[in-house]
Chains A and B, each alone.
Chain A
Amino acid sequence: MQRFVNDDPESWLNAISIWKKLLELDAKKERLSQRDADPLKRKVGENEIIVAKKLKIEQTQKIEENKVCQLDKQIEEETQEQRDFITKREKLQGEEPREDVEKTTDTSHQHDVTFRELGRVIGIALMKQFGWKADLRNPNLEIFIHLNDIYSVVGIPVFRVPLASRAYIKTAGLRSTIAWAMASLAEIRAGAIVLDPMCGLGTILLEAAKEWPDVYYVGADVSDSQLLGACDNLKAAGLKDKIELLKVSVIELPLPSESVDIIISDIPFGKKFKLRKDIKSILQEMERVLHVGGTIVLLLSEDHYRCFRECKESDIPLNSKGSHTVAPGIQKHLDPEENTGLSETVLSSFEASNQECLEKMSPCGSLVPVECYRVSLGKTNAFICKYRKSLSSGC
């Protein structure tokens, strides 16, 4: 880290100057909007969107990178993660301009670099190189450092508010950055029909509709209060014409089979949902209304995720034996709950071992797992899982 500061002062100064320029743009924006000049407003608006987009992309890339590494580890080791996620601000001494160093450290047992040491090292290096002074109360510049076993990221936050805050969402449900990440994984294309069968306050649909406007969005929920909230959100965001709401149950969707192109949903966490049975019926219904080749992106809690893997493990004995001609009668005996007769034909088309881990996560015969990312929701972790509906018959 020291070397990073000392060997490459130019990149630091470059980054700072870009950051300063962006801040100036921000200030200019405020002045312009007061003047209420339409063409100018639009131009500035565009810039804002570009910046926001870039950051969103960076953010999601970061999430994706981070979590893909973790996923690999998980598959290999299948042990519980030992990660300390620590955020700390630390005071240092120095001169102008004042800085505030904020660090997060992801450590495992091997390295044991504490945030204190890291903070000290960086702070001292910066002081020596640029003559900056640390100030905890009113810094000009905030430096953010993320260090884990695989890589380190040093950055300067551009926005003073959390990235997830949105001007157009009145009441947020799911964190907006996660919603956007899910939507971006779903391969939304113009003219698609996108369904969120448990939309709640509609956060996912709002994020998607803002980014991909040439699309038909439908949100569904069983709760009146949530639908009212969603309605308010849509009005506030000006998206009432792009998103339709239905009061329907996700296990009984009043839609013809294969009528929807994309499903994005946040599976409710919490004990109200009895894991195995409910999830199975939800997935069956989602799978039914989805077009072949369509994608499903789900946000799963740790429990649901574990359940998905366990569900499929009961089918694994079929696969490892390499026998694909087990009679339906025998299969039913192995797992009387699930209709595994059909899923067998899908399994037989997979390559044996390197797909086995992903197969473990396929909860439903014709839904092929594509990718899966671990994300942080603040206090808890969750998984964004993407599936595609293949040609073979359903659950």
Chain B
Amino acid sequence: MKLLTHNLLSSHVRGVGPRGFPLRLQATEVRVCPVEFNPHFVARMIPKVEWAALLEAADTLHLVEVPPGPVQGYERDEEFLRKMHHVLLEVDVLEGTLQCPQSGRLFPISRGIPNMLLTDEETES
């Protein structure tokens, strides 16, 4: 699970609503692997990023050199884009958990795939 995905996920446990975001990340196995840098793609993702959530997750994974926010003219700032590219796409959490901040419910991440299936009692109907 990449941090870009983590940035999108929110808990859907019953009654939690918008307070289910962001999920607290805990990782036991992380892999960093190079991904082809595509500046156009990264630039388009920047406006969609929830920065607080991203910084929190990056902090948990002890990542360094994480930009604290978008800079002026980021579309052409290659250094900025490369750093974001690394944070969002090159760090893969293989094993760990995601925790709902409101209910405390833990969702496991296994082989890079988060399991967010809820039991019937937990779902919002």
Contact = CB atoms under 8 A, between A and B. Distances in A.
- Do A and B actually bind? yes
Interface stretch (A242-250, A299-307, A314-322): A242-250
A163 interface: no
Interface magnitude class on chain B: 20 to 34
A376 B83 CA distance: 47
A241 interface: yes
Contact of A256 (B18, B35, B36, B41): B18
A218 B2 CA distance: 11
Interface in B11-66: 11-12, 18, 20-21, 35-36, 38, 40-41, 43-45, 48
Nearest to A257: B18
Contacts of A251: 123
A246 B114 contact: yes
B101 to A, nearest CB: 13
B106 interface: no
A395 to B, nearest CB: 15
A71 interface: no
Nearest to B47: A191
Chain A binding surface SS class? loop
Given A214-B44, A253-B12, A247 B116 contact: yes
A57 interface: no
Contacts of A191: 40-41, 43-45
A256 B11 CA distance: 9
Contacts of A381: none
Interface residues of A, number: 25
B116 to A, nearest CB: 5
Contacts of B48: 193
Contact of B11 (A222, A227, A231, A254): A254
Interface in B99-115: 111-115
B116 A254 contact: yes
A216 interface: yes
Contact of B8 (A222, A245, A259): A259
A278 interface: no
Given A231-B111, A256-B10, A244 B5 contact: yes
A190 to B, nearest CB: 6
B5 A246 contact: yes
A252 interface: yes
B117 A222 contact: yes
A86 interface: no
B123 A252 contact: yes
B4 interface: yes
A190 B40 contact: yes
Interface in A196-243: 213-216, 218, 222, 227, 231, 241
B10 to A, nearest CB: 5
Contacts of B20: 254
Contacts of B1: 244
A255 interface: yes
Contact of B113 (A213, A246, A249): A246
Contacts of B81: none
Contacts of B36: 241
Nearest to A285: B12
B21 A256 contact: yes
Nearest to A227: B113
Given A254-B9, A255-B9, A248 B40 contact: no
B113 A252 contact: no
A175 to B, nearest CB: 26
- Considering the complex of A and B, which 4 residue pairs feature the smallest CB-CB distances, nearest first? A191-B44, A247-B115, A214-B41, A241-B35
Interface of B: 1-2, 4-5, 8-12, 18, 20-21, 35-36, 38, 40-41, 43-45, 48, 89, 111-118, 123-124
25 contacts: A190-B41, A191-B41, A191-B43, A191-B44, A193-B48, A214-B44, A215-B41, A216-B41, A216-B45, A218-B8, A227-B113, A244-B4, A245-B112, A246-B9, A246-B114, A246-B116, A248-B114, A248-B116, A248-B117, A249-B118, A251-B123, A255-B8, A256-B8, A256-B18, A256-B21
